[in-house]
Amino acid sequence: MGATSWGYGRLCALVYQVDKPIGTSFFALRRYDVDGFTALLQDTGFTVTAVHADYTRGKPPAADSQVWTFEATPSDGSPGHDSGN
């Protein structure tokens, strides 16, 4: 299950909740570097406007960063992006 939060035409939050496995179901964890996640956002119709590290605006991601925050807007300029799924 996932949830998104939009503010001022920008994606403010993207949260995924994973429930406990049931039967043979499982959860696949994917890890990305900054360039890989930027490419993923671009491939899905977003333009990355900024990337911050450790919840500090303007702090660039580094090897020892614990958290990355991506700011991105839909490439078409609309306030939201709906893939129809």
pTM attached to this predicted model: 0.58
CA nearest to 11, candidates 61, 81, 85, 84: 81
The average pLDDT across 4-24 equals 56
Of residues 29 and 31, which shows the higher confidence score?
A: 31
Mean pLDDT score of the chain: 74
Tokens of 56: 């500090």
The pLDDT of residue 17 is above 70? no
Tokens 């991506």 belong to residue: 70
- In the predicted structure, residue 2 carries a pLDDT above the cut 50: no
What are the residue boundaries of the structural domains of the chain, listed by start? 2-18+29-74
